[in-house]
Structure 1
């Protein structure tokens, strides 16, 4: 088979491409937690499609369900018509995910990506409350369309909008300033004081663990207080669970252990389970005040994704799956803490929850060097944070313990190469 020249992408694809610069090879096959390039070189995948492949590549039960559906000429494109595939997903999601958690949400299918879910959530919050502004948080990332960018913190991404990003107010995330400053007291003072210049917003939007923003995990007590403030002031709470949800932090929804009750939840990425585009916006039934067609999209309702998403929900019928995620997360956290202790030159801090973790490096460029060396040694992982100061571990939830250990060993070897002299305990 003829191999693809990397110059094809350099010559014909837009300069906006990014991941192919970090991983300069041509991939052509993937299975489970591994990828292979055209030269046959094997890589362990700790990237997981930026959280879109929590169940790994080409999961057999999802693949078989999809192939059967296609071979039977199942509906592919349907806008928001009623289809068998959509009906089966709705019933399974309600029975397997919502009911056991005593959750009552209406499901809305916007366009098939995460930013579509966020845009619909912002629009609904403003429609329901009649208010304009939305409070977001420092280092938050919610998507690349205009509404989503307005509640995103990253300066480079915001600048790309090319127009003023309005009707959003940014407040400090948990521990943004320091460990000691209670940021929600600061926020609430703005709501209380008529001279603050901050109007009562339609909603607050938050990630319980900030992915692109640097693997910043909010404390449960902070999330609880945020929920209480929203309820006290009749402000809708939107949880963006696009990257942190679908098991990434250990439970299906990232906010479960915090015990909070969001009004709106945005899901995408690993919702389909197979890497197919699918997004959903969950809202409390009393908030579902849309007029028919008031928010729509040509590709809302991706039937192939409904098929794989329904198959993926089978994992959540038993508590064993969550237990397996916790076991692998504990192993990963233990490794990261040992790594920071054994290599003080890394000047690292462990961050995150579950299998959404990383190490923040104090010195500029170190995290990028570690990720680049890991790629040379056969591991794919990315960096995060406003200055790319965190190397970020996103192994699949279905990864075997042996593969997990192999990947962690490559990370240690990469760190050793970058900082040179370890201090062994």
Structure 2
């Protein structure tokens, strides 16, 4: 280890050979080499605590030992790795256990579509299917939404910088104000309903309403349960499909497997990706109410929609949701994060900090947006990895693996408080 510590990780190769589009490595300026659960080590041997979790792709930690052994055994037995949409035993096992452990306990009835390897694949397929089902074109989406970087999902993404990268117009979406966009006194669900019912509003009846229950990239804006129920009612009464994008907020990030569970709503279509692959493996699901599953064979496809290693790891990950012990563990960790953020808010009133988010995705929103980036940089210097979010990068976001050890969570939160103290000197 002493020899390792003498190395100085260099970004030279990446600076010379990789596209200028790279982003995270500009904040986390080291070369990572190993990882285990919520710890990472760079090529110089320095240890980091992970409050980033692969942007939500490794909710169950890096190199989860239970998942890893199942993957090793599967490969050792020459299991199918790539299968398009052909039937395999790995897919059969995942589908059966997903129904048994996730859908049936929640009284949900969905057909499972494998649209491709990423979240944007799930969103694109959901938008396309909603248009096919209803015969309508427009998709209503919301301010500060993020749904992906391909043209269809990007059209439903609010961030001006990301939208400008398209290079072409992004049509067929109508943006509405998200819950709380105008403050607590404006009911934006009522605003939407008024526009839909007014023949003079210029807002046509859409194929679907697409939303995140908690906007991760958009700045940790959280919709109230009542607002979500109102949106669901508005959709139901007008035969508009409700699509919930649970790509980042699903798989336990907000405290329950699906982020919409506490609101008691049942979306027509649900988009999952990121941590559904268990091990950080590319995988996405589009969950469809059976009545809406009107695809013709091959009408939407993709080469890498049959990632069997993803099926194996995803099946293993479902074990966390059996027995009812996981959710109370998540609630305990979430309480610990919230208590730390409240202490920071109270100790540094001059920064006018707002606490946002819930579960194991919470953060500090700064009036001066630059302070969020400065806090994340100070945290990184202390060996804590976390990112910013929001339209101005004004939110310092905490998103550790759900499986982080309690003592390591304490250590990471202590680093955060130390970084905040440095910020205020």
Q: Could you say which TM-score interval applies, normalised by the shorter chain?
A: over 0.9
Aligned-pair CA distance for 1:152: 0.4
Structure 1 stretch displaced more, 300-309 or 342-351: 342-351
Contact 2:281/2:310, CA 8 A, preserved across alignment: yes
Q: 2:17 aligns with which of 8, 12, 18?
A: 12
TM-score normalised to structure 1 length: 0.98
- Give the alignment of 1:11-160 within 5 angstroms: 11-160=16-165
Query: Can you list the C-alpha shifts for 1:123-165, whole angstroms capped at 9, x where unaligned?
Result: 0000000000000000000000000001000000001010000
Classify the secondary structure of the residue corresponding to 1:257. Answer: helix
Q: RMSD over aligned Cα, in angstroms? A: 0.9
Q: 1:284 aligns with which of 289, 292, 297?
A: 289
Matched residue pairs, number? Answer: 420
Write the distance in 2 (CA, Å) between the matches of 1:231 and 1:364. Answer: 39
Write the distance in 1 (CA, Å) between the matches of 2:324 and 2:25. Answer: 37
Write the distance in 2 (CA, Å) between the matches of 1:26 and 1:115. Answer: 28
Write the distance in 2 (CA, Å) between the matches of 1:182 and 1:273. Answer: 38
Query: Can you list the C-alpha shifts for 1:193-228, whole angstroms capped at 9, x where unaligned?
Result: 111111100000000000000011101000010101
Aligned-pair CA distance for 1:3: 7.4
Q: Residue 169 of structure 2 corresponds to which residue in structure 1?
A: 164
1:385 aligns with 2:390: yes
Q: Which runs of 4+ in 1 moved over 4 A?
A: 1-4
Contact 1:346/1:415, CA 8 A, preserved across alignment: no
Aligned-pair CA distance for 1:5: 3.2
Contact 1:138/1:171, CA 8 A, preserved across alignment: yes
Q: Residue 214 of structure 2 corresponds to which residue in structure 1?
A: 209
Write the distance in 2 (CA, Å) between the matches of 1:345 and 1:419. Answer: 9
Write the distance in 1 (CA, Å) between the matches of 2:128 and 2:268. Answer: 14
Aligned-pair CA distance for 1:4: 6.0
Classify the secondary structure of the residue corresponding to 2:264. Answer: coil
1:300 aligns with 2:324: no
Name stretches of at least 5 consecutive residues in structure 1 with no aligned partner. Answer: 421-425
TM-score normalised to structure 2 length: 0.98
Name stretches of at least 5 consecutive residues in structure 2 with no aligned partner. Answer: none
- Give the alignment of 1:234-383 within 5 angstroms: 234-383=239-388
Q: Residue 423 of structure 1 corresponds to which residue in structure 2?
A: none
Q: 2:226 aligns with which of 204, 216, 221?
A: 221
